[in-house]
Amino acid sequence: MGNLNGWELLVIVFAILLLFGAKKIPELAQGLGKGLKEFKKGLKDVEDEIKTASNDDKKIEEKK
């Protein structure tokens, strides 16, 4: 996707406008933004749980 030139991007934007209409695009962008935000939050939560579990394992090993 990094190899798109200006004309290709213009065609994609035009196709999106035709499919969804100008009024729906802000709603779609907002929904996409919220979805990405929730995904990143979930990913961070999982990383935090892994770190916590790892730290708990280290504490258990130190007590032995």
* DSSP, res 4: -
Give the residue among 5, 25, 4 at the shortest CA–CA distance from 15: 25
Does residue 1 register a pLDDT over 60? no
> Number of C-alpha atoms within 13 angstroms, CB side, residue 16?
13
Helix runs in 1-64, H state only: 6-20, 24-63
* pLDDT value of residue 2: 63
Condensed to tens digits (0 to 9), the pLDDT of residues 49-64 reads 998 888 877 677 776 6
- Indicate the domain borders of the chain: 22-63
Token pair for residue 49? 């749980």
* pLDDT value of residue 55: 80
- Greater confidence (36 vs 6) lies with 36
Condensed to tens digits (0 to 9), the pLDDT of residues 5-24 reads 888 888 988 888 888 888 88
* DSSP, res 1: -
- Greater confidence (16 vs 47) lies with 47
